[in-house]
Structures are given as structure tokens and as C-alpha cells.
Structure 1
Amino acid sequence: MREELGDRVAEVLDGGPCRYGLESTIVSLVDPDGPLLLRHGALSAEFLANRWRMPLSLLLRAGAIRPSVAAHESPSDGPPSDGRASETESVGAAAPGQMRLHYAPRTPVWLADDPQLPSQRRGRWGRIRFRETSTSGGGPSESEASWAETRLLSRDGDPVEIAASLYATLRDLDHRMLEGIVVDVCAEAGIGRAVMDRLRRASANHGGA
């Protein structure tokens, strides 16, 4: 946070390590049809639906939390050259974290199961794995030697462990002068929904999303 805000703020209050490593869940309570999840976060959609005794599908109503794009832009428009979301992209967003390109490092991020992932990687690439034996793709060569930098976020694919260090790992690799970062995918359940939501928005900066 300090790095992103720079000299725009005088002080940053450090609350210490966060167990989940993700922002808060945001829910709208003004919709007449009931609570509406606007941003996935540490409190999972399953937990909230159970607590409110409502169908999960109602909380996750179709289109409610898909990446938002400004009215005068199309989903195929490229991201800003520095990999950050432009102010115009926030038009129509009901809550923070709904922009098409968000949570994105400057280094292009690719999901390991993306069919547009380059088959031939040139230069230095980074790899983020969610478990010791990855089964979620990543291109034709998965040998450790083929990656300039590799990071393991969990030995057994624990989504809480993955979420806790995801941002810090992306930020670390963003400073390693890489051509791209390939990241594993996880099951979209529980906090895994928030992890995949962040990764889809982060991966919008390679132009293939």
C-alpha cells in the first residue's frame, strides 16, 4: 500500500499481517430482491448465503460482479500502458474492485489455463504455483528450469494460504524484470472465488482477456 500511495499520504497505519490477505467482501443491501454480492473477499459467498439463509445463486445474481467497463469502452480495448486501470474504467462500478483491469501489476499476468497463453515463451518468465504438484497447465514446458522465477504459495493448494500471499507474490515478481507471470487457477468455492476474481482482473493487462 505504501508503495502504491507514495507521497500522496503522510502516514500509513500498519495493522500487522492479515490472515486472508484479500480486501473485505462488499455486499449491497439496497436491492429489493435481497443482498447482492458486489465484491468477493475474505468472507465467502457461501458463508454469507448460509448466514442469511438464502440461495447462493440469489446472492450471486448473474452479472452482478462481472468486470465493469466504461460505457464508451469495449471489453476488447487494451489496458493503460502502465498496467493500471484508467479512471474511465470505474464508470458504472457499484463498488471498489469491479473494474475490468484491477489488482494488476505492470508485468502481464496469464492464467495457467488460458488458451491464449503463448506456446513459446521468450525472455524471462515467472511462475506462481498453488501446490507442489501443479496440474493446471502453464504451457508446454513445466520444468522448473524453464522459469526465471518460481513461487509456491501452498504445498497442498490451501486457498487460505494462497490468498494470504497472492498480492505480495505478484508484487515481488513485478519487480523481477519479467516478460510475463503465469499463475495457477483454483476451484471457485469459498475464498477461492475471491482469488480467481482478483486473478481474472489482474490478467486483463495482457490484452487477451
Structure 2
Amino acid sequence: MKPGSIGTDTDHAIEVLRNGGVIGFPTETVYGLAAAASNSVAVNRIFEIKGRPRNHPLIVHLNSLTEARHWSADWSASAEILGALFWPGPLTVIVTKALNVHQEVTGGLETVALRVPNHAVALEVLRGLEGGIAAPSANKFGKVSPTTAEHVLADLGSEVDYILDGGPCSIGLESTIVDCSANTIQILRPGGISHELISQVLPVAEQVTGPSRASGMLDSHYAPICRLTVVANVNEAQSLLETQAANQQARIIDGSSDPTLFATQMYSQLRQCDDDGIDQAIVVLPSPNGIGHAIRDRLLKAAHGAQSQSH
């Protein structure tokens, strides 16, 4: 198959990964840019294709909690509890890395980020490969994340060796990242598993401090080409729309009425704005509850990123 081909052949995807290739990889959160985590040359290609800084750690996807334990030199009680409760699922735990984990995967840190995805196709590939898959989102660094195989093709084209089509992502937002390497856990990135759910089972440190330790922690991320403005309600959005200059095209996107449904569509809607030549997307924020917190995080960072690239 030629590079950039979209297909549903899991055996071919496994063969490409075994041979040091890089593929578009479906999960329930977003599509990943995937390589065998044990192959440092292949992992380096992820950074080259994505244009990602090499000190940004990658998430290693695994097929089970049992497999995940082998990737840590000091598997913590908190990681065990969260993995048992929320895997397979949209949760990433950060733990002390095992000695044999490549520094390309960890961004040079002494910790590693691990996840078991809740996606039948992803798990089939992981079982067939019999190893971990390193995979950030399959898009250029800082841009809108992909939630379909077609998004991966549009962003990366023939730079990837194969795009495995597992259908549209059922959650549509990146995983929650929880640092389990210290005595008290910290949520470094909100995602598909809410703060409320996690705090019901473990105490959570409220303040995230220090430099970026995980994907998505930068102020600017997930950005479309168009200008992005976030507002509190539909009335505010309508008022803003009415003030647009005659030569400016704007579109209102309402994320407040059904946040769970909106999460599955948000990145597609932002991409559609760019495809349609919209100058400004005006997005109504959901309430900061449940997955609404993760949506707000992505939109605020996307707005910052869109503003930065317009200057």
C-alpha cells in the first residue's frame, strides 16, 4: 500500500509497526500518530512528522493493566487503583519509568505516561504487536486534533505509512492525564475521565506546578487557523456576531447545550470552520462540570493559540 493510504487492515498496521513504520491509529479519544514504543528510530519519526518538541513526553498505549505494570520501576498504589477502575478508558497515568523505556518516549524524564485505550481496533493492534505503542495526536504540533481517519490524511498525508480507520472517535477529546509518581496525585490535563470521578476514589492535589510534564499543558494548543473567541452564553455570541465587519465571516458554535455530544464534534466543527473559510469562530462554553471542564480547557488553549498565530 502507498504511504497515506486509509484502510481497515489491522494485520497490515501491525506489520508496518513491527517494521519501524508510523501509522494513524484509532482510539476512543483522538487518532494517534503511532510507532512501536520499543523502536527509538520509529519514535523519532513521530517527532519529525508532527513537528513536536523532543522534550514533550509521549503516551504509551498498552493492551492491559498487567502489561502497564511492566513499564514502571515503581508502580504506585494510585496508578493501580485508577487503572483498575478506569481502564480500558480515556485515562493516562504517569509513573516512574522502567529502566528499559527509551528516553525518546519520556522526553528525557524519569517518568512515563501509560494508557489502555477503550477501542476494539486499537486493542486488536496492541495484542497483535505484543508491545507498547507510543502515540501523540496525529496532527501537526499545536493544531486541531483529528477524530477521523480523514482528518489524519488531511493533516499528514503521505508522511505516515498507513492510516488505520477505526471510525469516528467516540469521546473526541484527549485522555485525562494523572501524575501518579508522587504521594498525592495531580491532574495535569482534564479529559474523558472527570475530576469529580477521580476525586471520589483518591485525594487530588489541586495545584499543578512546575514546567510542562505532559502533552497539552502549554497555554497554546489545539488551535484552528481562524480566530477563535469563547463566550459564556448564546446571547453574548449573538451580540458578538452582530458586531462583525461586513467582510468578515463568523460562525457560532454552541458547546453549552449537550457537552458530551459536543465533545465528539468539537474538533470536527473547528476544522469545518477552517475548511469553509470562516474568519472567526464564536464558541459558547459549557459549564465546568464533568467533561465540560475538559472542553473548556481545550477551547481556552485553542483561542490562545489562534490569537498567537494571527499576530
Give the TM bin, normalised by the shorter chain. 0.5 to 0.7
TM-score (norm 2): 0.44
Q: Does residue 306 of structure 2 align to residue 187 of structure 1?
A: no
In 2, are the aligned partners of 1:26 and 1:95 still within 8 Å (CA)?
yes
Amino acid at match of 1:15: G
Counterpart-to-counterpart distance in 2, 1:183 and 1:28: 30
In 1, are the aligned partners of 2:250 and 2:279 still within 8 Å (CA)?
no
Amino acid at match of 2:186: L
**2:219 corresponding residue in structure 1:** 100
Which deviations, in whole Å up to 9, do the C-alpha atoms of 1:136-170 show, x marking residues without a partner?
Answer: x1263556x9994646667x711101111000000
Amino acid at match of 2:287: A
| Percent of paired sites with the same residue | 28
**2:164 corresponding residue in structure 1:** 13
More helix by share: 2
Counterpart-to-counterpart distance in 2, 1:174 and 1:200: 18
Counterpart-to-counterpart distance in 1, 2:164 and 2:177: 22
Could you list the runs of 4 or more consecutive aligned residues of structure 1 that deviate by over 6 angstroms after TM superposition? none
In 2, are the aligned partners of 1:111 and 1:185 still within 8 Å (CA)?
yes
Which deviations, in whole Å up to 9, do the C-alpha atoms of 1:114-137 show, x marking residues without a partner?
Answer: xxxxxxxxxxxxxxxx8xxx24x1
Q: Does residue 275 of structure 2 align to residue 172 of structure 1?
A: no
**1:74 corresponding residue in structure 2:** none
TM-score (norm 1): 0.64
**1:38 corresponding residue in structure 2:** 188
Pick from 114, 119, 140: which aligns with 2:239? 140
Which has more radius of gyration? 2
**2:307 corresponding residue in structure 1:** 206
More strand by share: 2
Matched ranges for 1:53-68 at <5 A? 53-54=202-203, 58-59=204-205, 61-64=206-209
> What is the number of equivalent residue pairs in this alignment?
154
Unaligned regions of 5+ residues in structure 2, if any?
1-145, 147-151
Which deviations, in whole Å up to 9, do the C-alpha atoms of 1:32-81 show, x marking residues without a partner?
Answer: 2x11111111111111111x242xxx34x2245xxx9xxxxxxxxxxxxx
